[in-house]
Copies of this chain bind each other. A is one copy, B any other.
Amino acid sequence: MLNNEMTKRLNIEYPIIQAPMAGGITSSKLVAEVSNSGGLGMIGAGYMTPSQIREQIKEIKHLTSRVVGINLFVPKEFNVNENDIKSAKKILQPICEQLNLLHNDNLEIPTFNNLLEVFHEQIKIVMEEKIPVCSFTFGIPSKEVISELKRNNIILIGTATTVREAIEIEKSGMDLVVVQGSEAGGHRGNFILGHQESLVGLMSLVPQVVDNVSIPVIAAGGIMDGRGLMASICLGAQGVQMGSAFLTCTESGAHSLHKEGILKAHEDEIVLTRAFSGKWARGIKNKFIVEMRNQETSLPEFPVQNTITQSIRKASTFQNNPDFMSLWSGQSPRLAKIQTVGTLIKDIISEAKKINKSVIN
């Protein structure tokens, strides 16, 4: 039951992918240990510079000889104007004061062309370093990029939040599709329709996608254990991608306050916000989210707002103050544990087998 087209294509033992969480969470230890334990470790390289990526790949190759993957953000055009930046900074001023932070007047807001250039350099490294699996969020790369990666025999995974997005991903020639349910932590991956229309729960999303594409479907969002894995398989998925469950593992690079935050949180404290980055994302409700609530729909788009809040998030982290950190989490914090990756994966598989024997039959 746990060996299927997904595990074959990815050349892994168990149908479990560690979500490519960005922002330093996917440490080399975490990625390598997931692959060493039979899953697929993924580098969350969305925000990484080409040289950082190269360095991490080198580190990981020392820690595992198994397949690992990488995730990149597909750049999207965005609006940016000085007035919006000024007013966003003004809104953030009281928070800067609480952190004794002088607001940076020389923000380097990237242009779309900057991002596109970085993306192409990232792609080049993926090919040069022969990373066997590459997944994408926030869109579908150009035909040229997809063809080039496929010529290099790299397995491609897209990320969809609706049936329509999954269909487009299949049409583009990608090999597998991760479907991100509304339960998922961190940034929403919708790229065709708006935020509200793309918040579909996994129980609805998985079977509807499965009925409409032929490539293997991987369920993501709120899955933390063998129950979630088996439920996803019943819905027609071939496996799962899990973020928060790996985030709280001892090997992950997440800040200890982030891990503790998830461990203490309840599902009704995990909310959606666009105040951190300009893109809707799910995390633990904290002072920042609450204070920004009334203004959040008028803030600049991603990645502009993300650049503007960077100093706040850094200062909050540096001061060990969780109030203004982005504490991303899926909707199942009550199921989180601090444990090693090895224990997590072993427990998922043994629980899945137990369900197979006792609950189902």
Binding site for B on A (CB under 8 A): 1, 162-164, 181-183, 193, 196-205, 207-208, 211-212, 219, 221-225, 227-228, 230-236, 266-269, 271-272, 330-332, 334-335, 355-356, 359-361
Contact = CB atoms under 8 A, between A and B. Distances in A.
Contact of A196 (B162, B208, B271): B271
A268 B197 contact: yes
A230 B221 CA distance: 18
A225 B206 CA distance: 12
A183 B232 CA distance: 16
A197 to B, nearest CB: 4
B203 A202 contact: yes
A359 B203 contact: no
A34 to B, nearest CB: 21
Nearest to A208: B334
B225 A231 contact: no
Contact of A197 (B197, B269, B334, B361): B269
Given A196-B272, A197-B268, A359-B234, A228 B208 contact: no
A163 B334 contact: yes
Contacts of A356: 360-361
What are the nearest 5 A-B pairs in CB distance?
A204-B222, A201-B201, A204-B331, A183-B201, A231-B231
Nearest to A358: B1
22 contacts: A1-B359, A163-B334, A164-B268, A181-B203, A182-B199, A183-B203, A193-B268, A197-B268, A197-B269, A201-B201, A201-B202, A201-B222, A203-B203, A203-B221, A203-B228, A204-B221, A204-B222, A204-B331, A207-B335, A230-B234, A233-B359, A233-B360
